[in-house]
Amino acid sequence: MTAYPLTIPAVLDAAELAQLRAILLAGPWEDGLATAGPLSAPVKRNRQLPEQCPAAREAGAIISAALGRHALFMSAALPARIAPPMFNRYRAGEAYGAHIDGALRQSQGLRIRTDLSATLFLTPPQDYEGGALSITMGAMPLDIKGKAGDMILYPSSTIHAVGPVTSGERLSCFFWVQSILRDPIQRQTLFELDRAIQGLAACPVPSETLLGFNQTYHNLVRMWADG
């Protein structure tokens, strides 16, 4: 089973989404080229919220708190460091062509290795046409338009893009994760084992069986984790 791209549902509830949109839409948006590298600049057409502005920090704090409460995200990512959330918006004619995220990210004094990328959708998919997140994992790209409040987690090593928005507006959050596990196969193995343990915990299995699986999980974390 391939864990990624993985949908993390309901990271934000309706009240949090409304609060975030009010904060963000009042913010000082700038051309996305302000943070584009030399290879991505020719294909990047969007707007971003400056990382250091109060609106970005306030909105980022809400998202960071929500991530810490979300068991599926913690299980799948096993985060060691999470880059401060950033925000972008696309209107008709705007897109972000095929690109790959840099291996290292420096933001607000935090340097991380980008193991995983995340896109958190803040706009309902029916509010805009086009604008799908396209992730290439294999021969064909996978196009995704998530529900507002849902998040897509995928390897930062993949080629990905945001298709042209043809009408409406797409508002989203994005950030990167450095996992305690550098190796994606080890990370996926532990994710699958944790999901199995959670499933067993809901079943009438002997407690010693569940304890044994839990012991194996944590011993593998000790063996594989960085630092």
Q: Among 91, 110, 116, 96, which Cα is nearest to 175's?
A: 116
Is 187 assigned a ligand-binding role in the annotation? no
Is 218 assigned a ligand-binding role in the annotation? no
What whole-number distance in Å separates Cα of residue 151 and Cα of residue 154?
10
What whole-number distance in Å separates Cα of residue 221 and Cα of residue 227?
11
Phi-psi bin for 74: left (phi > 0), alpha (psi -120 to 50), beta?
Answer: alpha
Find out whether 41 and 32 touch, Cβ atoms under 8 Å: no
Is 70 assigned a ligand-binding role in the annotation? no
Is 170 assigned a ligand-binding role in the annotation? yes
Q: What is the DSSP letter of 83?
A: P
Find out whether 199 and 139 touch, Cβ atoms under 8 Å: no
Residue 91 buriedness (CB in 10 A; 0-12 / 13-18 / 19+):
middle
Identify any residues that bridge with 35 across adjacent strands, giving them in sequence order: none
Half-sphere exposure of 150 (CA within 13 A, CB side): 14
Annotation: binding site: 99, 101, 160, 170
Annotation: binding site for 2-oxoglutarate: 170
Annotation: binding site for Fe cation: 99, 101, 160
